[in-house]
Structures are given as C-alpha cells and as structure tokens.
Structure 1
Amino acid sequence: MRIWTLHLFTLAVLAVLLATLPPYHATNLARILVLAVFAIGYNLAFGYTGLLSLGHALFFAAGVYGAALPITYLGLPQLPALVAGLLAGGLVAGVTGLLALRTAGVSFMIVTLMFAQAGYLTLLYFGPVTGGDEGLVLPDAAALLPGLSADVARATIAYALFSAALLSSLALVQSRLGRTLVAIRENEDRSRMLGYNTFAVKLTALVLSGLFSGAAGAAYALLFGYAGASFATIQYSILPMLWVLMGGAGTVLGPLVGTAAMFYLVDIAGSYTTATLLFVGVALVLLILFAPKGILGTIRERWLTWLP
C-alpha cells in the first residue's frame, strides 16, 4: 500500500506543478515527463533485465516517424498517430531483439548500436521523405485537444502519458513477469535451469521497452512539433542510459528523478557556460564515487529498502 501511495502522491504533486507553474516552466516539465517515459522504457530493459543497449535511439526514432509520417503524408489525426508511433517502437524493438538477443554482454551492446546507426543512415538516405536532418514540421500541439491552448494540451498529454507509463511499469515490476526479469538479470543460467525460456522473456522485455520508447518518441514529435533524423543518433541512446544511471537503475521512480536532475543540471549550467557537458561529467563522476547505484538506488539501499 505504501508503494502505491508514494507513486500516486508523486503523480499528484506533478499535476499541481503543471497547473500552477508559469508556461515556460510547465513546458519544461512536460518535456521532462515525456523524456522520462523514454527512460522508463530503457529502465525495463537495462535496470530490470540487465540488457545494456545502445540502440534505443532507434526505438525512439521509430515512434517519432511512426507518428510523423502518417500525419504528413496520410493526414492521420494526431491521437491515432500517437498510437501508431507506440506500435512502431514495439515492432522495431521486436525485430531488433530477434537478432540482437542471439548475443549477450558487450556483443549485444555493439549489435544494438549498429542497428541504431543503420536506422539513422536510412532516415538520411530517404531524406526527401523523412526530411533528413532538416526534419518535418508537425501541426501545433493544440490540435491534440481542441478547445485548449497549446501549452495546456501539451501539459495534459505529457502528464497522461507519464502517469500511464509509471503506473504500468510499477504493476509490471511487481508482477510475476517483473520478478522473472530480475531473476534473469541476477543469474540467467540459473533461471534457464529452473525452466524459464530466457530468450522469450528477454524479447518480451525488449518489446515492452520499445513500446514505451516509441510512445515517448511519438509524443515528443507531436507535442513539440518536429520530427528529424537527429532523434536516431547515438546521443538518444546514451541519454536514457545516463538518466537511468543517475536516478537509479532498477527503481520505478529512478527514470523520472534522473531525467529531471540531468535536465536542470544542463539548464542551470548553460546559464553560466557553454561547456555544459563538463558539469554533466563532474556530476557523473561524483555519482559513481558516492552513489554508484544512483540517487534512488542509494536511498533504497541505505534507508527505504521497500522501494520497488
């Protein structure tokens, strides 16, 4: 009960913040919530299943273009396009997993990286359709919820998406499947010996991760009105890994904490210097030295052992 109370209280606080913050800060919070959904997806694969992937940019970009292309060329309404982006992320993750999961460890990381790079080059090659690095401009976010301003529509959709992602991930990690994912992460050989089909379970985890990532990519494109090949670059594979590591891998709220901490670290550092990555690097070094399990991971280890 206290686990669900904590997460519902977090959602209540976020709702109050979105309703009371000035438009600029509310838009930043909406951006954080969408990116936190991406981090939640990465956390399912890495934090709970132990799949260190450098290919999640491909799933994010699949969501971006899964929503953007039908809107641009088929005139699909925005909400159905959001669902199309979600499904595109899951489909690409499934195809990638069928091949990449035949490897493990560093080999898995390299194979997923190559898939993501292949996806990026494909988007550039078909630049006349995808827009390449210039990208595609999408309708204003106000079209998502007619009758509301773009800022209100953006905040509402971002909050609804994050709430659904957070609660579903919490239910997942407390389920039998979630416990199986952790068992495979801790000792895959023993899990296989106990009769689990570890390949099928890992593929399921990767597809679920792709669904979350695709939903985040589609929402990001629709809420902020842009889809470009840059979303498939290596940067968008490294960022969710950093957010999860900073917040705490294998914790449900860790992706939100890590995404918000990294976002505001870069934002505050950018007001003083252009060398924002220097601040990020220092923060990560301090994190490794004093809180190697991330912010919430360390809190769980030392004080709140019941955190999921």
Structure 2
Amino acid sequence: MTRQTARILALHGGLLAVLFAAQFVLPAYHHGNLARIMVLASYAIGYNILFGYTGLLSLGHALFFAAGMYAMGLGIQYGGLSPAPAFLAGVVAGALISGALALLALRTTGVAFMIVTLMFAQAGYLTILYFGEYTRGDEGFVIQTAQRMLWGINLSDPVNRYFAAFGLFAISLSLSLWMVRAPFGRVLVAIRENEDRVQMLGYDTYVHKLGAMVVSGTISAAAGAAYGLLFGYAGASFASVQYSIFPLLWVLLGGAGTVLGPFIGTLFMFYLIDLSSGVTTAYMLIAGVVLVALTLFAPQGLAGEVRRRVWRGLP
C-alpha cells in the first residue's frame, strides 16, 4: 500500500468512524438530522458519479430516487412485502429505470441530455399523480411502524434508524471511492475531460457512460427506498424537479468529482437552511446569498478547494 492510498483510506475511514461515534453523543435533534443527511448524501453520491466524475448533467435524478421510494412503499402497502424484499425491489426498480433511460438519453449530449432526463423525470412525477388512487399523489402515504420491522428490528427506532442510514452511507461512500480509483472510474474521468481522445484510445465511451448511469441511478434508488423505509413516508414531492436540483446543489457545494463532496455539500446546505429558517422567514434569501458567495469564492466546492489548495491527490 502506497502512502497516498493510506492517507486516502485514513481520511474516508476517519469520517465513517466519526459518524459511527456521533450516534452515542449527539442530542436527539441532531441525531435525527444526521440520519436524514446520511441518506440524502447517499443520493448525492449517486448523482456525483454521473455528474461529477462522468460529466453528464442530469436534471432528472428525482425519477430514480422516487422509483426506489415507491417500489419499496407500494410493495409494502399493496404487495405485503417485508422491508428487506421491499428495499431490494426499490433498488431493482432504480437499476431497470436508469438502464432504460440511459439507452434513450445517451443518444443525446449536452443540453439535449439535460432536457431528456428532465422530461422523463416529469413524466414519472405526473404518473405518480395520475395513479393517485394508489400513490395518494401529493398527499403521499405513511408506512406504519409495524410495517418497518426488519428481522425483528424496529427501523422507526432512532438508534436503529441511525445505524441503518450509516450502513447505507458507508456502503455508498466505499463503493464510490473504490469505483473512482478503479480502471472503470478513471475512464469515466477521462470521458469527462476529453471524450474524443478516450474513443481514440479504443475505449467504448457509450458502454462506460451507460454503466455510470446505471450505477448512479441504482445508488439514488437505494437512497430513495431507504428514505421512505426509515422515515415512514412516500410522497410525490420527492419526484418533483426540486429533488432533481437538490443533489446538483449538494454536489456543487461540496465539490463535484470528489468522494467526500456530496456529504459535505448535503451537511452544509441542510444546516444552512435549518439555522437560517430559525432566524427569519426569508431563510431562502440567506441561503441564496451564501450559495452565491461560495460560487464566487470557492467555485470548485468546499472539498474541491481543499484539493486545489492543499491536497491535489484527494479523490
């Protein structure tokens, strides 16, 4: 193991150790917040694989998040599934939908790719509203505590919920770190930088982008399924444009193309909105000013600036 690899593993392992230990010391309010942040950060990690590492700007990732959430929720509500197979159904739904969308969207590039992903995400949102008899539309539906028992473990219990969220985040972070350091991930970065040159070297860029989109959509769907399962609710708002924009903001704030960036961005924006809303009803104005300032003075995001100024080897 090289010194560089040891430093990288120590940094990311250290973050996981801190999050694991935080369970025992955080007050109840921040304990619940951090569980929610870890699930949403997993969603951002999935988005970062497509946008940050592959360079494909999607405006439709809420489709995958909601696919995981509703496949899980409807499986429990109407299919009588227990949490484990319901969660698996959510993950599979995300993989299938992201694969199908990739086959269509990757025929386009640039702005056209953004529009196609947005269009399909809106179609998914409208589908949820159309079948409101089952999905309950904007109102959504609650997943009862009795339906959230996994092998005798009550996932609505704050401690169990925290460790489940931590497990999802740890797997997502580790998978992201492994993938971007593997040959497949390095090809994705090369595609982001210069796709024509990658093709000239003999790589099939279409297959790599297809793989990136499926991995990205699957992780996002797993986050959606986990969110609905751990917090007991599924609603159409999670399929709206807002939830396609959120991961983009989290990744940009934390640092696109960095493994830790999605978590940093999600944590920062969550508490920025949370704290500013306690000061004024115009909290989005405060959030907007801070976001503009960060864009001006830290254009590569928080982790991206650390990589630029301090540690160029930060993955």
Identify which of 109, 133, 136 aligns with 2:138. Answer: 133
Identify which of 140, 158, 176 aligns with 2:165. Answer: 158
- RMSD over aligned CA atoms reads 1.2
Identify which of 239, 242, 251 aligns with 1:244. Answer: 251
AA aligned opposite 2:237:
S
**Which position in structure 2 is the counterpart of 1:49?**
54
Q: 2:140 & 2:79 partners in 1: Cα distance?
A: 17
How do 1:257-296 residues align onto structure 2 when only pairs under 5 Å count? 257-296=264-303
Q: Deviations over 1:194-236 (max 9, x none)?
A: 1111111101000000011000000000011001111110000
**Which position in structure 2 is the counterpart of 1:22?**
27
How do 1:1-308 residues align onto structure 2 when only pairs under 5 Å count? 1-140=6-145, 143-144=149-150, 146-147=152-153, 150-308=157-315
Q: Deviations over 1:126-182 (max 9, x none)?
A: 110111111121022862363556111110100000001001110000000000000
Structure-1-length-normalised TM-score: 0.98
Q: Deviations over 1:63-111 (max 9, x none)?
A: 1011001100011011221121111111111111110111001110011
Q: What is the count of residue pairs matched by the alignment?
A: 308
AA aligned opposite 2:201:
L
Asked whether the 8 Å contact 1:142–1:154 carries over to 2, the reply is no
**Which position in structure 1 is the counterpart of 2:3?**
none
Q: 1:24 & 1:193 partners in 2: Cα distance?
A: 54
Unpaired runs of 5+ in structure 2? Answer: 1-5
Asked whether the 8 Å contact 2:254–2:304 carries over to 1, the reply is yes
* Structure 1 stretch displaced more, 271-280 or 42-51: 271-280
Asked whether the 8 Å contact 2:38–2:169 carries over to 1, the reply is yes
Structure-2-length-normalised TM-score: 0.95
Which runs of structure 1 show a deviation greater than 2 angstroms over 4 or more consecutive aligned residues? 139-142, 144-149
CA 1:147–1:92: 2 relative to 1, 3 Å: closer
Q: 2:285 & 2:95 partners in 1: Cα distance?
A: 35
Asked whether the 8 Å contact 1:154–1:223 carries over to 2, the reply is yes
**How far off its partner does 1:19 sit?**
2.2
Asked whether the 8 Å contact 1:123–1:130 carries over to 2, the reply is yes
Asked whether the 8 Å contact 1:62–1:214 carries over to 2, the reply is yes
Unpaired runs of 5+ in structure 1? Answer: none
Asked whether the 8 Å contact 1:165–1:212 carries over to 2, the reply is yes
AA aligned opposite 2:258:
T
Asked whether the 8 Å contact 1:142–1:150 carries over to 2, the reply is no
Asked whether the 8 Å contact 1:27–1:155 carries over to 2, the reply is yes
